Chains A and B, each alone.
Chain A
Amino acid sequence: MLQLEIVTPEKKIFSDTVSDVYLPGVDGEMGVLELHAALVTALKPGELRYEKDGKVEELAIGSGYAEVTSEKVSVLTDSAFGEDDIDEEVEVAAMQRAEEQLKGVSAADAEEAAHLESVIATNAARLLLKRKSR
């Protein structure tokens, strides 16, 4: 069994043992099982899946990091939402707002642009999860 912890700046979202975890790594999706080699990876906004007692659960997470050891996976992310916590209209509105802002950002302000792009990608990941389940 593998200990999975998901933490955001606001609170601890999840802490339990699971049988496997799939993480949205920056270089593509990555599956983690027990006794995985020690690893630190950057995560991009996307879908995190884990299996507990034969049931697969999905969360839409923002960008962040995962620390993997042989018995534990710690996920640090800006946000993590289950399907039920996502409101489609809110996400669409937030995404449009961020896109508007992105157009107004000057090319010199790379950091702000990168921030907004990550906001948009996070919203997109949530929408994808929400729409997939219908």
Chain B
Amino acid sequence: MANLRDIRRRIKSVKNTAQITRAMQLVAAAKMKKAQDQALAGREYADQLNQVLVNLKENVDEESHPLLEKREGNKTLTLVISTDKGLCGGLNTNLLKLVRSEDNGNTTYATVGKKLRLQLEKTGEPIKADFVVDDPLAFSEARPIAKFLTDQFLEGDFDKIKVCFTNFVSTISQLPHVSQLLPIDATTLAEKRDYEGVGKDEIQETDHSSALSKDYEFEPSPEVVLDTLLPQYINFQIYQMILEARASEHSARMVSMKSATDNANNMIDDLTLDYNKLRQAAITAELLEITTAMKAME
């Protein structure tokens, strides 16, 4: 068994670690609250916007807008939204697994967040662009990203634009998720609404109301509405996805830092017990020596 001084030293260093992880836990908790509120608040708007689009799509010709046009090719540009910092559990690893499984061999990447950019660079994947965004995120920061992706699609460089990000479910559960951004497609619209935790009843209700009033009028015209609505939709999708990823990041960090702090505290308890045992043993040994010496002198 180690000696007293070694154990004392270890306790001290574990205590330091616990202090750091505890501080990080508190910081992440504060950021988590904000990021979660922001992400949840955006979902309402996203749902409404999706619904308008679903209705709109039923009323216009599929191929009437370049952003809706389905293409045969499989050249894909994938936007990967990861974190800038580590220490957030398996978040980035899980996302990377999904990114790898989505790779069809003809995929180029764009990234938000440093962690997965480095991973993708390491394995030599082509990276077309990297975006840096602030925390907390402003809506205007999503615009250049959306513009870049839209331009890539419209210029015909890529046939599909996908986004991989971590969807926020709850503080203890975040799921990696992939969604097709372009071309915009009615089935993915409905799917996404389902995914983001809207209750089943609500979806049935909207389907019902759109069935009642099929023929929408468009003011000033379907083309004008589509022209302005689709870019706005893409901007907002990007914004919302980054928010989801951020909420996931801070939640995952909070949870993993909490378990790190708990582990450190358990370790300190164990070490303190060892330390006390050892100290007790030393005292007993000393007493024994003294008594034996006294007995010998009698």
Give the B-binding residues of A (Cβ under 8 A).
5, 7-12, 25-27, 30, 37-42, 65, 67, 69-70, 72, 74, 76, 111, 115
Contact = CB atoms under 8 A, between A and B. Distances in A.
20 contacts: A7-B48, A9-B139, A9-B239, A10-B38, A11-B44, A38-B215, A38-B216, A39-B217, A40-B216, A40-B217, A40-B218, A40-B219, A41-B218, A42-B224, A65-B229, A67-B51, A67-B55, A74-B51, A76-B48, A111-B147
Interface size range of chain B in the complex: 20 to 34
B45 A42 contact: no
A115 B213 CA distance: 33
Contact of A11 (B41, B55, B218): B41
A108 to B, nearest CB: 14
A26 B228 CA distance: 12
Contacts of B41: 9-12
A44 to B, nearest CB: 11
Interface in B23-56: 38, 41-42, 44-45, 48-49, 51-52, 55-56
Contacts of B228: 42
B220 to A, nearest CB: 5
Contacts of A7: 44-45, 48
Contacts of A39: 216-219
A12 B48 CA distance: 11
Given A40-B56, A41-B225, A25 B217 contact: no
A37 B216 CA distance: 8
B52 A74 contact: yes
A38 B222 CA distance: 13
Contact of B225 (A42, A69, A115): A42
A37 B214 CA distance: 10
B45 A40 contact: no
Contacts of A42: 219-220, 224-225, 228-229
Given A65-B229, A111-B147, A40 B44 contact: no
Nearest to B215: A38
Contact of B45 (A27, A30, A41, A76): A76
